[in-house]
Protein backbone atom coordinates (compact mmCIF):
# COMPACT_ATOMS: atom_id res chain seq x y z
CA UNK A 1 0.00 0.00 0.00
CA UNK A 2 1.32 3.44 -0.87
CA UNK A 3 0.58 6.59 1.01
CA UNK A 4 2.28 9.87 1.82
CA UNK A 5 2.65 11.36 5.26
CA UNK A 6 0.58 14.47 5.94
CA UNK A 7 3.30 15.67 8.31
CA UNK A 8 6.52 14.33 6.81
CA UNK A 9 8.73 16.67 8.85
CA UNK A 10 7.37 15.67 12.23
CA UNK A 11 9.58 13.18 14.04
CA UNK A 12 10.33 12.40 17.66
CA UNK A 13 10.43 15.72 19.49
CA UNK A 14 13.53 16.97 21.26
CA UNK A 15 11.55 16.76 24.53
CA UNK A 16 11.15 13.01 24.15
CA UNK A 17 14.79 12.63 23.09
CA UNK A 18 16.18 14.61 26.03
CA UNK A 19 13.82 13.04 28.57
CA UNK A 20 14.81 9.53 27.40
CA UNK A 21 18.50 10.49 27.54
CA UNK A 22 18.04 11.95 31.03
CA UNK A 23 16.41 8.73 32.18
CA UNK A 24 19.03 6.52 30.57
CA UNK A 25 21.94 8.52 32.03
CA UNK A 26 20.34 9.17 35.42
CA UNK A 27 20.52 12.92 34.72
CA UNK A 28 18.53 15.71 36.39
CA UNK A 29 15.78 16.53 33.92
CA UNK A 30 15.39 20.30 33.53
CA UNK A 31 14.50 19.71 29.88
CA UNK A 32 10.77 19.09 29.73
CA UNK A 33 8.42 21.69 31.18
CA UNK A 34 6.71 19.99 34.09
CA UNK A 35 7.03 20.26 37.87
CA UNK A 36 8.66 17.50 39.91
CA UNK A 37 6.09 18.17 42.66
CA UNK A 38 2.38 17.49 43.02
CA UNK A 39 -0.73 19.65 42.60
CA UNK A 40 -2.09 21.27 45.80
CA UNK A 41 -3.33 18.68 48.34
CA UNK A 42 -6.78 20.24 48.37
CA UNK A 43 -7.09 19.85 44.59
CA UNK A 44 -6.25 16.15 44.89
CA UNK A 45 -8.86 15.74 47.63
CA UNK A 46 -11.45 17.50 45.49
CA UNK A 47 -10.72 15.13 42.59
CA UNK A 48 -11.35 12.16 44.85
CA UNK A 49 -14.59 13.78 46.05
CA UNK A 50 -15.60 14.51 42.48
CA UNK A 51 -15.27 10.84 41.49
CA UNK A 52 -17.00 9.62 44.66
CA UNK A 53 -19.95 11.99 44.25
CA UNK A 54 -20.75 10.72 40.79
CA UNK A 55 -19.20 13.10 38.26
CA UNK A 56 -18.21 10.23 36.04
CA UNK A 57 -20.24 10.52 32.84
CA UNK A 58 -19.83 12.73 29.77
CA UNK A 59 -19.42 16.37 30.65
CA UNK A 60 -21.13 19.11 28.61
CA UNK A 61 -19.49 19.45 25.19
CA UNK A 62 -18.32 23.01 25.91
CA UNK A 63 -17.24 22.19 29.45
CA UNK A 64 -18.79 21.91 32.93
CA UNK A 65 -20.71 25.15 33.41
CA UNK A 66 -19.46 25.67 36.99
CA UNK A 67 -15.90 25.56 35.68
CA UNK A 68 -16.65 27.98 32.88
CA UNK A 69 -18.27 30.33 35.41
CA UNK A 70 -15.25 30.08 37.72
CA UNK A 71 -12.98 30.90 34.75
CA UNK A 72 -15.16 33.87 33.81
CA UNK A 73 -14.81 35.26 37.36
CA UNK A 74 -11.06 34.72 37.25
CA UNK A 75 -10.79 36.49 33.87
CA UNK A 76 -12.80 39.44 35.15
CA UNK A 77 -10.50 39.82 38.16
CA UNK A 78 -7.35 39.45 36.05
CA UNK A 79 -8.27 41.36 32.89
CA UNK A 80 -11.32 43.46 33.74
CA UNK A 81 -13.56 41.97 31.07
CA UNK A 82 -16.85 40.23 31.73
CA UNK A 83 -16.77 37.03 29.68
CA UNK A 84 -19.93 35.07 28.87
CA UNK A 85 -19.35 31.61 30.36
CA UNK A 86 -22.04 30.07 28.12
CA UNK A 87 -20.81 31.35 24.78
CA UNK A 88 -17.22 32.51 25.08
CA UNK A 89 -15.35 29.77 26.98
CA UNK A 90 -14.66 26.21 25.78
CA UNK A 91 -12.92 23.64 27.98
CA UNK A 92 -10.39 21.66 25.94
CA UNK A 93 -7.90 18.84 26.27
CA UNK A 94 -5.06 21.06 27.46
CA UNK A 95 -4.06 24.21 25.64
CA UNK A 96 -2.82 21.94 22.85
CA UNK A 97 -6.36 21.05 21.86
CA UNK A 98 -7.53 24.66 22.25
CA UNK A 99 -4.84 25.73 19.79
CA UNK A 100 -5.51 22.82 17.44
CA UNK A 101 -9.30 23.25 17.39
CA UNK A 102 -8.99 27.02 16.86
CA UNK A 103 -6.63 26.58 13.92
CA UNK A 104 -8.61 23.71 12.41
CA UNK A 105 -11.84 25.69 12.76
CA UNK A 106 -10.62 29.04 11.46
CA UNK A 107 -7.79 28.47 8.96
CA UNK A 108 -8.77 27.52 5.40
CA UNK A 109 -6.52 25.83 2.81
CA UNK A 110 -4.10 28.39 1.39
CA UNK A 111 -4.48 30.81 4.32
CA UNK A 112 -1.30 32.24 5.80
CA UNK A 113 -0.55 32.08 9.50
CA UNK A 114 2.29 34.12 11.01
CA UNK A 115 4.35 32.24 13.61
CA UNK A 116 7.07 33.91 15.61
CA UNK A 117 10.05 31.57 15.90
CA UNK A 118 11.19 30.08 18.21
CA UNK A 119 7.60 28.80 18.40
CA UNK A 120 5.96 26.04 20.44
CA UNK A 121 6.16 22.80 18.53
CA UNK A 122 2.43 22.16 18.04
CA UNK A 123 1.73 25.39 16.11
CA UNK A 124 3.14 24.65 12.65
CA UNK A 125 1.79 21.06 12.37
CA UNK A 126 -1.70 22.30 13.28
CA UNK A 127 -1.51 24.99 10.57
CA UNK A 128 -0.24 22.50 7.98
CA UNK A 129 -2.97 19.94 8.78
CA UNK A 130 -5.54 22.70 8.20
CA UNK A 131 -3.99 23.31 4.77
CA UNK A 132 -2.60 26.65 5.89
CA UNK A 133 0.83 28.07 5.20
CA UNK A 134 3.00 28.91 8.21
CA UNK A 135 4.93 32.15 7.70
CA UNK A 136 7.85 32.03 10.12
CA UNK A 137 9.25 35.29 11.46
CA UNK A 138 12.34 34.83 13.62
CA UNK A 139 12.84 36.52 16.99
CA UNK A 140 16.45 37.63 17.27
CA UNK A 141 18.69 36.80 20.21
CA UNK A 142 19.68 37.94 22.74
CA UNK A 143 16.43 39.75 23.64
CA UNK A 144 14.06 37.66 21.43
CA UNK A 145 11.76 40.69 21.06
CA UNK A 146 9.22 40.77 18.23
CA UNK A 147 10.28 42.82 15.22
CA UNK A 148 6.85 44.33 14.50
CA UNK A 149 8.05 45.87 11.24
CA UNK A 150 8.67 42.32 9.95
CA UNK A 151 5.14 41.36 11.03
CA UNK A 152 3.77 44.40 9.20
CA UNK A 153 5.79 43.48 6.09
CA UNK A 154 4.41 39.91 6.16
CA UNK A 155 0.76 41.00 5.93
CA UNK A 156 -0.84 39.85 2.65
CA UNK A 157 -4.46 39.41 1.52
CA UNK A 158 -4.09 35.69 2.43
CA UNK A 159 -3.20 36.40 6.06
CA UNK A 160 -5.72 34.62 8.30
CA UNK A 161 -4.02 34.47 11.70
CA UNK A 162 -1.13 35.75 13.75
CA UNK A 163 -0.03 33.55 16.65
CA UNK A 164 1.63 35.11 19.67
CA UNK A 165 2.80 33.51 22.89
CA UNK A 166 3.33 35.60 26.00
CA UNK A 167 5.05 34.89 28.37
CA UNK A 168 7.09 33.09 25.76
CA UNK A 169 8.27 29.50 25.75
CA UNK A 170 11.23 28.92 25.30
CA UNK A 171 12.77 32.39 25.79
CA UNK A 172 10.92 33.73 28.84
CA UNK A 173 10.32 37.07 27.05
CA UNK A 174 7.02 38.93 27.52
CA UNK A 175 5.04 41.11 25.13
CA UNK A 176 4.31 44.63 26.49
CA UNK A 177 0.84 46.31 26.32
CA UNK A 178 2.15 48.86 23.78
CA UNK A 179 3.16 45.98 21.51
CA UNK A 180 -0.42 44.68 21.56
CA UNK A 181 -1.51 48.16 20.45
CA UNK A 182 0.99 47.92 17.60
CA UNK A 183 -0.35 44.50 16.57
CA UNK A 184 -3.91 45.85 16.66
CA UNK A 185 -2.89 48.71 14.39
CA UNK A 186 -1.10 46.35 11.95
CA UNK A 187 -4.14 44.06 11.73
CA UNK A 188 -6.79 46.81 11.52
CA UNK A 189 -7.13 46.62 7.70
CA UNK A 190 -7.13 42.78 7.67
CA UNK A 191 -9.51 39.91 8.43
CA UNK A 192 -6.87 38.08 10.44
CA UNK A 193 -7.43 36.45 13.83
CA UNK A 194 -4.95 36.69 16.69
CA UNK A 195 -4.35 33.49 18.59
CA UNK A 196 -2.67 34.39 21.88
CA UNK A 197 -1.20 31.42 23.71
CA UNK A 198 -1.23 32.67 27.31
CA UNK A 199 -0.59 29.43 29.19
CA UNK A 200 2.06 31.14 31.37
CA UNK A 201 -0.20 34.11 32.30
CA UNK A 202 0.46 33.58 36.03
CA UNK A 203 4.24 33.40 35.78
CA UNK A 204 5.35 36.99 35.20
CA UNK A 205 8.19 38.47 37.23
CA UNK A 206 9.77 41.59 38.68
CA UNK A 207 6.49 43.48 39.03
CA UNK A 208 5.54 43.25 35.34
CA UNK A 209 1.88 42.58 34.50
CA UNK A 210 0.74 40.00 31.94
CA UNK A 211 -0.59 41.75 28.81
CA UNK A 212 -3.56 39.61 27.78
CA UNK A 213 -5.53 40.05 24.58
CA UNK A 214 -8.62 39.49 26.77
CA UNK A 215 -7.90 42.92 28.29
CA UNK A 216 -7.41 44.50 24.84
CA UNK A 217 -10.68 45.85 23.39
CA UNK A 218 -9.63 45.75 19.75
CA UNK A 219 -7.61 42.52 19.68
CA UNK A 220 -10.20 40.57 21.64
CA UNK A 221 -12.73 41.18 18.86
CA UNK A 222 -10.49 39.13 16.55
CA UNK A 223 -8.83 37.06 19.27
CA UNK A 224 -8.63 33.60 20.70
CA UNK A 225 -6.80 33.32 24.03
CA UNK A 226 -5.70 29.83 25.06
CA UNK A 227 -4.90 28.64 28.58
CA UNK A 228 -3.93 25.51 30.46
CA UNK A 229 -4.67 24.37 33.99
CA UNK A 230 -1.62 22.12 33.69
CA UNK A 231 0.65 25.08 34.49
CA UNK A 232 -1.02 26.89 37.40
CA UNK A 233 -2.25 23.68 39.08
CA UNK A 234 1.11 21.85 38.74
CA UNK A 235 -0.89 19.17 36.93
CA UNK A 236 0.37 18.90 33.35
CA UNK A 237 -0.94 15.32 33.21
CA UNK A 238 -4.53 16.33 33.83
CA UNK A 239 -4.75 17.79 30.33
CA UNK A 240 -7.37 20.45 31.00
CA UNK A 241 -7.21 23.78 29.19
CA UNK A 242 -9.57 26.29 27.60
CA UNK A 243 -10.12 28.75 24.80
CA UNK A 244 -11.69 32.19 25.27
CA UNK A 245 -13.12 34.04 22.27
CA UNK A 246 -16.14 36.03 21.07
CA UNK A 247 -19.27 33.85 20.46
CA UNK A 248 -18.96 33.78 16.66
CA UNK A 249 -15.34 32.61 16.92
CA UNK A 250 -16.12 30.21 19.77
CA UNK A 251 -18.83 28.62 17.59
CA UNK A 252 -16.20 27.62 15.02
CA UNK A 253 -13.79 26.30 17.68
CA UNK A 254 -16.59 24.16 19.15
CA UNK A 255 -17.48 22.76 15.72
CA UNK A 256 -14.06 21.11 15.70
CA UNK A 257 -13.85 20.38 19.44
CA UNK A 258 -17.19 18.53 19.31
CA UNK A 259 -15.79 15.91 16.94
CA UNK A 260 -12.21 15.99 18.07
CA UNK A 261 -12.37 15.33 21.83
CA UNK A 262 -16.14 15.98 22.34
CA UNK A 263 -15.78 16.74 26.05
CA UNK A 264 -13.10 16.73 28.71
CA UNK A 265 -12.81 14.42 31.75
CA UNK A 266 -15.77 15.35 33.98
CA UNK A 267 -14.25 14.66 37.42
CA UNK A 268 -11.20 16.78 36.61
CA UNK A 269 -13.36 19.71 35.55
CA UNK A 270 -15.47 19.54 38.71
CA UNK A 271 -12.40 19.29 40.93
CA UNK A 272 -10.80 22.36 39.30
CA UNK A 273 -14.08 24.32 39.49
CA UNK A 274 -14.38 23.55 43.22
CA UNK A 275 -10.73 24.45 43.79
CA UNK A 276 -11.05 27.80 42.00
CA UNK A 277 -14.07 28.61 44.15
CA UNK A 278 -12.41 27.51 47.41
CA UNK A 279 -8.93 28.92 46.80
CA UNK A 280 -9.40 31.85 44.41
CA UNK A 281 -6.08 33.36 45.54
CA UNK A 282 -4.03 30.37 44.25
CA UNK A 283 -3.11 31.60 40.77
CA UNK A 284 -2.32 35.12 41.99
CA UNK A 285 0.42 33.68 44.20
CA UNK A 286 2.27 31.97 41.37
CA UNK A 287 4.21 35.02 40.14
CA UNK A 288 6.03 35.20 43.49
CA UNK A 289 6.29 31.43 43.79
CA UNK A 290 8.06 31.04 40.44
CA UNK A 291 10.11 34.24 40.73
CA UNK A 292 11.58 32.82 43.94
CA UNK A 293 12.46 29.58 42.14
CA UNK A 294 14.05 31.50 39.25
CA UNK A 295 16.10 33.55 41.70
CA UNK A 296 17.13 30.51 43.68
CA UNK A 297 18.34 28.77 40.50
CA UNK A 298 20.20 31.85 39.22
CA UNK A 299 21.64 32.57 42.67
CA UNK A 300 23.01 29.03 42.84
CA UNK A 301 24.61 29.51 39.40
CA UNK A 302 26.67 32.51 40.53
CA UNK A 303 30.33 31.81 39.91
CA UNK A 304 29.61 29.59 36.88
CA UNK A 305 30.76 30.44 33.36
CA UNK A 306 27.18 30.68 32.07
CA UNK A 307 25.71 34.14 31.50
CA UNK A 308 22.02 35.11 31.47
CA UNK A 309 19.29 37.69 31.46
CA UNK A 310 16.72 36.75 34.13
CA UNK A 311 13.58 35.26 32.59
CA UNK A 312 10.68 37.78 32.47
CA UNK A 313 8.03 35.05 32.64
CA UNK A 314 7.25 31.29 32.26
CA UNK A 315 9.11 28.65 34.25
CA UNK A 316 12.01 28.60 31.81
CA UNK A 317 15.42 30.22 32.01
CA UNK A 318 17.88 30.51 29.13
CA UNK A 319 21.59 30.20 29.92
CA UNK A 320 24.23 31.41 27.46
CA UNK A 321 27.23 29.09 27.17
CA UNK A 322 29.46 31.24 24.90
CA UNK A 323 32.17 31.50 27.56
CA UNK A 324 32.30 27.71 27.85
CA UNK A 325 32.07 26.47 24.28
CA UNK A 326 31.58 27.51 20.68
CA UNK A 327 29.52 24.38 19.96
CA UNK A 328 26.00 24.63 18.56
CA UNK A 329 23.23 24.57 21.15
CA UNK A 330 22.25 21.03 20.09
CA UNK A 331 25.82 19.81 20.59
CA UNK A 332 26.14 21.65 23.87
CA UNK A 333 22.87 20.23 25.30
CA UNK A 334 24.11 16.76 24.40
CA UNK A 335 27.45 17.40 26.11
CA UNK A 336 25.71 18.81 29.19
CA UNK A 337 23.53 15.75 29.74
CA UNK A 338 26.46 13.37 29.24
CA UNK A 339 29.23 15.25 31.08
CA UNK A 340 27.45 16.71 34.11
CA UNK A 341 24.12 14.92 33.82
CA UNK A 342 21.74 17.85 33.50
CA UNK A 343 19.18 17.70 30.68
CA UNK A 344 18.21 20.94 28.92
CA UNK A 345 16.59 21.90 25.61
CA UNK A 346 18.47 23.61 22.77
CA UNK A 347 16.50 26.65 21.56
CA UNK A 348 17.29 26.33 17.83
CA UNK A 349 14.90 23.35 17.52
CA UNK A 350 12.00 25.79 17.92
CA UNK A 351 12.96 27.54 14.66
CA UNK A 352 11.99 26.57 11.12
CA UNK A 353 15.36 27.92 9.93
CA UNK A 354 17.58 27.60 12.98
CA UNK A 355 20.13 30.37 13.55
CA UNK A 356 23.38 29.53 15.32
CA UNK A 357 22.49 29.99 18.97
CA UNK A 358 24.51 29.71 22.16
CA UNK A 359 21.63 29.34 24.61
CA UNK A 360 19.90 26.33 26.12
CA UNK A 361 16.63 26.26 28.06
CA UNK A 362 16.18 25.02 31.64
CA UNK A 363 12.86 24.43 33.42
CA UNK A 364 12.88 25.73 36.98
CA UNK A 365 9.51 24.25 38.02
CA UNK A 366 11.47 21.90 40.25
CA UNK A 367 11.95 21.47 44.00
CA UNK A 368 14.57 23.72 45.56
CA UNK A 369 16.90 20.80 46.15
CA UNK A 370 16.66 19.66 42.50
CA UNK A 371 17.51 23.21 41.38
CA UNK A 372 20.43 23.49 43.82
CA UNK A 373 21.81 20.12 42.76
CA UNK A 374 21.48 20.98 39.05
CA UNK A 375 23.18 24.36 39.55
CA UNK A 376 26.03 22.71 41.45
CA UNK A 377 26.64 20.45 38.44
CA UNK A 378 26.34 23.33 35.97
CA UNK A 379 29.00 25.29 37.88
CA UNK A 380 31.44 22.51 36.94
CA UNK A 381 31.15 23.37 33.23
C1 LIG B 1 3.70 27.76 24.96
C2 LIG B 1 2.90 26.55 25.23
N3 LIG B 1 1.70 26.41 24.65
C4 LIG B 1 0.93 25.33 24.86
C5 LIG B 1 1.35 24.33 25.69
C6 LIG B 1 0.48 23.12 25.85
O7 LIG B 1 -0.26 23.15 27.01
P8 LIG B 1 -1.04 21.84 27.49
O9 LIG B 1 -0.04 20.97 28.18
O10 LIG B 1 -2.10 22.35 28.39
O11 LIG B 1 -1.61 21.17 26.28
C12 LIG B 1 2.58 24.42 26.33
C13 LIG B 1 3.04 23.33 27.19
O14 LIG B 1 4.19 23.20 27.52
C15 LIG B 1 3.39 25.56 26.09
O16 LIG B 1 4.59 25.69 26.65
How far is Cα 171 from Cα 200, in angstroms, rounded to an integer? 12
CA 95 / ligand 1 centre spacing (Å) = 6
Residue with CA closest to ligand 1 atom 7: 95
The distance from CA 24 to its chain's CA centroid, rounded to whole angstroms, is: 27
122 Cα–ligand 1 center, Å: 9
Residue-wise pLDDT for 110-128, tens only, equals 999 999 999 999 999 999 9
Q: Which atom of ligand 1 is nearest to the CA of 168?
A: 1
**Best mutation site among 125, 199, 350 for ligand 1, i.e. most ligand atoms within 8 A of its Cβ?**
199
pLDDT tens, the chain, 381 aa long = 999 999 998 888 888 889 899 999 999 999 989 999 999 999 999 999 999 999 999 999 999 999 999 999 999 999 999 999 999 999 999 999 999 999 999 999 999 999 999 999 999 999 999 999 999 999 988 899 999 999 999 999 999 999 999 999 999 999 999 999 999 999 999 999 999 999 999 999 999 999 999 999 999 999 999 999 999 999 999 999 999 999 999 999 999 999 999 999 999 999 999 999 999 999 999 999 999 999 999 999 999 999 999 999 999 999 999 999 999 999 999 999 999 999 999 999 999 998 889 999 999 999 999 999 999 999 999
CA of 219 to the centre of ligand 1 (A): 22
Distance 144 CA to ligand 1 centre (A): 19
Which residue puts its alpha carbon closest to atom 10 of ligand 1? 94
pTM confidence score: 0.97
**199 Cα to the center of ligand 1, angstroms:** 6
> What sections of 26-64 are H helices per DSSP?
41-52
* Spacing, Cα 121 to ligand 1 middle (Å): 9
Q: Which among 247, 258, 265 has a CA at the least distance from the CA of 94?
A: 265
Q: Which residues of 199-233 are buried (b: 16+ CB within 10 A; e: fewer)?
A: bbbbbbbeeeebbbbbbbebbbebbbbbbbbbbbb
Ligand 1 first shell, C-beta below 6 A: 33, 94-96, 120, 165, 169, 197, 199, 228, 230, 236, 241
Amino acid sequence: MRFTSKLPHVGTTIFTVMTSLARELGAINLAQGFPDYDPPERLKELLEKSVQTGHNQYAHMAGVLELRQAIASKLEVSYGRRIDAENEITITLGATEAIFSAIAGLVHPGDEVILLDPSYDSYAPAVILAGGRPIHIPLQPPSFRVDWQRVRDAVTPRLRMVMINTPHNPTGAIIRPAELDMLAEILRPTDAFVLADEVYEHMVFDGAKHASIVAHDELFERGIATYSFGKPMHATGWRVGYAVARPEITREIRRVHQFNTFSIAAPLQHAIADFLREVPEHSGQLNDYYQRKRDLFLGALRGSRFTWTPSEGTYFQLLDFRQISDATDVEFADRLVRDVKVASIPVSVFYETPPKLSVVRFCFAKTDSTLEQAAERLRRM
